[in-house]
Amino acid sequence: MPQFAANLTMMFNEVAFLERFAAAAMVGFTAVEFLFPYDHTPEVIGERLRENGLTPALFNMPPGNWQAGERGLAALDGRQNEFRASVDVALRYARSTGVRRLHVMSGLASRKDAAAVAIYRNSLTYACDQAGADGIDIVIEPINPRDMPGYFLNDFDFAADTISALDRPNLKLQFDIYHRQIIHGDVLTALRRLMPIIGHVQIASVPLRNEPATGELDDFRLLRELDILGYKGFVGCEYRPVGNTVAGLGWMDAFRSQ
């Protein structure tokens, strides 16, 4: 049975971010993920996790100026120093929370030429080396161009090639089933083929990004396949509930009682 992690950025929006930890624990989640903890101190985030008996599955490194439209820094020319500083910040939060994996966002980049690829690889190498000293994995996630036009990492094979070329034991793939289906389809075969490099999985219905099992894919079949493939990591519930978060959790009971 996959270990589900509530995505506190998308779920439990009925309450303020810091209240979402208790809300998730209350309905039985034992793990959570979120995009960015950086509006609060590392100590406060660590406390909320511990108070509620929650394991942090994942969060993202600082993405640059999100409000201004930035979506990561790793592939951006001229932002290397800022990227390195963001790694330090993320590792401070990692030490305080005990998270074992951090998502590095590539950024929006109009070009995917050799220079941009070199910058991206350099950034990832730096992040892997810094995080590796703390036993932390770095994950990279292809994101579909409809949701994030211009995002540099928009292809699963490109991500796999990057991971293979850099050959760092702590560099892995964040396989978001929602993005995979929109970008390429062929989800089941991709899970089988890419499982050796998968470090984190996320799920939502396609195309509306709501509760699993409400879209075009057989999500339960995909979740069962994760077990068959021996996946022992977390499955982040990165979806926008159609209505009330708790009222929408019936899909999880239905999956567990199969």
Q: Are 45 and 95 in contact (CB under 8 A)?
A: no
Amino acid, res. 165: A
Nearest approach, Cβ of residue 141 and Mg ion (Å): 5
Q: Is 202 in the site for Mg ion (CB under 5 A)?
A: yes
Query: What is each CA distance from 40 to 93, 121, 135, 191, in whole angstroms?
Result: 10, 30, 24, 35
From Mg ion, ligand LPHNJNCV, none, interface partner of 35 (C-beta below 5 to 8 A by class):
ligand LPHNJNCV
Nearer to ligand LPHNJNCV, 79 or 101 (CB): 101
Determine which one of 19, 33, 141, 216 is catalytic.
141
* Residues 217-256 as x/- pattern, contact with Mg ion by CB under 5 A: ---------------------x------------------
Q: Are 197 and 167 in contact (CB under 8 A)?
A: no
Is residue 216 flagged as an active site residue? no
Nearer to ligand LPHNJNCV, 48 or 103 (CB): 103
In the three-class reduction of DSSP (H, G, I as helix; E, B as strand; rest coil), residue 1 is classed as coil
254: left (phi over 0), alpha (psi -120 to 50) or beta: alpha
Q: Is 35 in the site for ligand LPHNJNCV (CB under 6 A)?
A: yes
Cβ burial, residue 197 (10 Å; 0-12/13-18/19+): middle
Restricting to residues 40-99, which ones interact with ligand LPHNJNCV according to CB under 6 A? 60
Amino acid, res. 247: A
Is residue 141 flagged as an active site residue? yes
The one among 103, 104, 175, 198 contacting ligand LPHNJNCV by CB under 6 A: 103
Give the active site residues.
141, 238
